[in-house]
Structure 1
């Protein structure tokens, strides 16, 4: 693939995925761990990433 994978640039990769168990920096897996999710990450991973972010106080 000449273009970088979409998921590789997602900030959610900085946390582990609670859905599939992928460690930080690794892509999420699907189909019982047999395929990498190259276009997105699990919703649970995005939620875990957002929960880790400081909240704005304005």
Structure 2
């Protein structure tokens, strides 16, 4: 390997490790999802119209 690639890889690894140690995120409070209720609804009904694809074989001259 070329020395420039080795140095670049080492710099990248050091930068990533430094990034993990410099950032510290503390949770201030627990999050929660909102409560949702759906009455009288059902699953959506779709009737798609799609094209036909015919696949076959033929001999090329």
Q: TM-score, normalised by structure 2?
A: 0.23
Q: Which has the higher contact order (CA 8 A, sep 6+)?
A: 1
Which structure has greater strand proportion?
A: 1
Larger radius of gyration between Structure 1 and Structure 2:
2
Q: TM-score, normalised by structure 1?
A: 0.24
